[in-house]
C-alpha cells in the first residue's frame, strides 16, 4: 500500500461488494506515500477487529533499516520510542501464508527451494526481498544489489517440494498492476496505481478454490479510483 490510504479504502470497498471475508495483505504498508500512518492504523484496527480474517504479511519496508530511510520515520516526527514500538510490531508479522492449501504468498518471493517447515521467520530476507526472473537458478540482482532473483526452475521445485500450485508476491512496481510469470505459476501484484507519481494501475485478486480473479484499477477522468478490468485466470 505504501501509504496510499485511498487505494486501501478502494480495495476494501470493492472487497465488500465481492463478499470477500478474508484478506491477505502482501506487505509494504509504509514509506513512499503520504499516508503511511493512516494506512497502518486502518490495517491494525482491521486486524484487531477481525484477527482471524486479516493477515498482514511483512514487506521489506516493515524493517527498521528501510523505514528509517524512506519516509516512515519522518512521518512519525522522528519519535524514537514510537518508531521502536512500531518496528517491534513489524518484527512479529508473519512472512508468508498459504491460501486455500495451494497458494504460497510472500512479499518478495522465495530463495533456495525448501520445505515450508524449514522457513525461519528470523531468516526471512529472501521472502521479503527476492524477485522472479526468466533465467533459471538463483542469481544476485543487479538492480537491487544484495538480493537475489529466482528463475522458473526454482519456483517449480519450491512448489513441488511443498505440494503447492502457485506463488503470489508483490514488491515490484507494475504499470498494469499485475504480471504472470512462469506459465501461470507465479503472480506478481502491485496494489497502488500512483506509486511515486507513476500513474499506472493497481491490482488486487480474489482467490476462490483454485481460481484467481484479478481486478485492476486506476484513476478515472474525474480523478477517482475506479475499476478498469477484471478477469478469471
Ligand atoms: Mn517491497
Q: What domains, with CATH codes, occur in the chain? A: 5-232 (3.60.21.10)
Residue 22 has a pLDDT of 94
> How far does residue 212's CA lie from ligand 1's centre (Å)?
22
Residue 232 has a pLDDT of 65
Residue 210 has a pLDDT of 74
Residue 201 has a pLDDT of 96
First vs last C-alpha separation in the chain: 23
> How far does residue 3's CA lie from ligand 1's centre (Å)?
13
> How far does residue 169's CA lie from ligand 1's centre (Å)?
10
Task: For ligand 1, an ion, list residues with CB under 5 A.
Answer: 28, 59-60, 171
* Catalytic choice (2, 35, 50, 61): 61
> How far does residue 60's CA lie from ligand 1's centre (Å)?
5
171 is catalytic: no
Nearest alpha-carbon partner for 128 in 152, 106, 146: 106
The β-bridge partners of 7 are none
> How far does residue 16's CA lie from ligand 1's centre (Å)?
26
> How far does residue 172's CA lie from ligand 1's centre (Å)?
7
> How far does residue 132's CA lie from ligand 1's centre (Å)?
13
> How far does residue 28's CA lie from ligand 1's centre (Å)?
6
Residue 153 has a pLDDT of 98
Residue 21 has a pLDDT of 84
Q: What are phi and psi of 89, to 5 degrees?
A: -65, -45
Which residue numbers in the chain have pLDDT < 50?
none
Q: What is the DSSP annotation of the chain?
A: -TT-HHHHHHHHHHHHHTT---EEE-S--SSSSS-HHHHHHHHHHHHHH-TTTEEEPPPTTSSHHHHTTSSHHHHTTT-HHHHHHHHHHHHTS-SEEEETTTEEEESS--SS---GGG--GGG-HHHHH-EE-SSSSEEE-TTTSSSEEE-HHHHHHHHHHHT--EEEE--S--TTSEEEEGGGTEEEE---TTGGG----EEEEEEETTEEEEEEEEE-TTS-EEEEEEEE-
CB proximity list for 84: less than 8 A, separation 6 or greater: none
pTM above 0.75, yes or no: yes
CA–CA distance from 67 to each of 78, 106, 135, 138, 170 (Å)?
A: 11, 19, 31, 27, 17
Tell me the three cell numbers of residue 199: 500513474
Residue 198 has a pLDDT of 85
Residue 202 has a pLDDT of 97
Residue 120 has a pLDDT of 85
Amino acid at each position: 500500500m505504501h501509504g496510499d490510504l485511498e487505494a486501501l479504502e478502494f480495495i476494501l470497498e470493492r472487497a465488500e461488494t465481492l463478499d470477500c471475508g478474508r484478506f491477505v495483505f502482501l506487505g509494504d504498508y509504509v514509506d513512499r506515500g503520504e499516508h503511511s500512518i493512516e494506512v497502518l492504523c486502518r490495517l491494525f484496527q482491521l486486524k484487531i477487529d477481525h484477527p482471524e480474517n486479516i493477515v498482514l504479511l511483512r514487506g521489506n519496508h516493515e524493517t527498521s533499516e528501510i523505514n528509517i530511510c524512506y519516509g516512515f520515520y519522518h512521518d512519525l516526527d522522528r519519535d524514537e520510542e514510537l518508531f521502536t514500538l512500531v518496528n517491534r510490531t513489524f518484527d512479529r508479522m508473519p512472512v508468508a501464508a498459504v491460501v486455500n492449501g495451494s497458494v504460497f504468498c510472500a512479499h518478495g518471493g522465495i530463495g533456495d527451494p525448501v520445505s515450508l517447515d524449514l522457513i525461519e521467520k528470523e531468516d526471512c530476507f529472501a521472502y521479503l526481498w527476492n524477485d522472479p526472473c526468466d533465467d533459471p537458478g538463483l542469481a544476485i540482482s543487479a538492480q537491487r544489489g544484495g538480493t537475489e532473483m529466482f528463475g522458473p526452475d526454482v519456483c517449480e521445485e519450491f512448489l513441488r517440494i511443498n505440494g503447492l500450485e502457485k506463488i503470489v508476491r508483490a514488491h515490484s512496481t507494475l504499470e498494469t498492476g499485475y504480471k504472470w510469470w512462469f506459465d501461470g505459476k507465479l503472480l506478481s501484484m502491485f496494489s497502488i496505481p500512483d506509486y511515486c507519481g507513476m500513474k499506472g494501475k493497481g491490482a488486487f485478486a480474489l482467490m476462490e478454490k483454485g481460481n484467481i480473479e484479478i481486478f485492476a484499477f486506476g484513476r478515472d477522468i474525474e480523478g477517482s479510483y475506479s475499476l478498469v478490468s477484471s478477469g478469471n485466470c
